[in-house]
Amino acid sequence: MNVGGTSGSNAVVNTNTVPQFFIAADTKLDAIDAPKAGRTAVVGSHFLGMLKLQQAGRQTVFGDGVNSRGVVANLFGWDILYSNSLPYTAVLSMVTQPTDGDTITIAGVVITLHSTLIAAGTTSGGWADIRTNVDTTRTFIRDLINYNNGTNGTVAGVAGTDFTDVSAENRFLWQKRGLKAVDSAAADTLTITGFGDISVSETLTPAADGFTSRRQDSLFCVRGCIDLIVQIPPKIEVIRDPDQFGDIVKGLLGYGKKTFADGAREMVRIKIAADTSDWS
């Protein structure tokens, strides 16, 4: 089922195409005779917003059924779940050394690229050094992102010399989105990953450089496609506390999650273009 665009490209979500995603997912699942009952769409804020706009002109109670589990409503035969933790990927192409003062904005936090050392605390965003070459510049941008998300990813440069940290508030925003950056000298790219509806932009002077791909993945599936496996049944043991009048209660349970082959066939991955003008 075609929802518009070209093969191999991320799908654009708007009020015209949003119902077609449900039809396309139905087509995929019907082809393997997957159960009709329990079909569930896990979507992000942008997808849900387009769906609300599409339904706004119709007599529907859509949007009135939100509960603590994130279930919005049932539409087109699908339970719709809202999640702000869907995987996000953006690829920044940087072939040419940027100009002093160029910026990269990630989830509302501005990174300014400088050819001179900037004192800590000068900006609430962050800065990366561009005094060497474009490959080193990309690594310092990578370092800045990963440094401000704890140990999430490679950091080879020196904070305060090659890059700076960001404000505590902005660091919280990045950590909440689980941001991570990986650079590739061979491809002249910086790949940024995270979770949720993230917007990115840049003001790089070289016209050929910029974000070449921005994508968020949604999941359309049959409920129960992911199994919770109990390896060690629940065990409770009660012993007397030798140091006081009381009992010590100890519990043991071993479990994990697993997607088996039959469950994987009941999952449809939707690659949504996150570079349209209405995304941010």
Each residue of 227-247: pLDDT tens digit?
Answer: 999 989 999 999 999 999 999
123 burial class (0-12, 13-18, 19+ CB within 10 angstroms)? middle
What average pLDDT does this structure show over 78-90? 94
| Each residue's pLDDT tens digit, 95-154 | 999 999 999 999 999 999 998 877 665 665 788 999 889 999 999 999 999 998 876 788
Element (H, E) at 20: helix 18-30
What average pLDDT does this structure show over 77-84? 92
At 153, the amino acid letter reads G
More confident residue, 122 or 78: 78
At 56, the amino acid letter reads A
pLDDT at residue 275 above 80?
yes
DSSP annotation of 11 reads B
Alpha carbon dihedral 154, 161, 195, 171, in 10-degree steps, equals 130
Query: In whole angstroms, what is the distance from residue 141 CA to residue 113 CA?
Result: 9
Cα 193 to chain center, whole Å? 6
Tell which residue, 135, 144, 231, has the closest CA to residue 184.
135
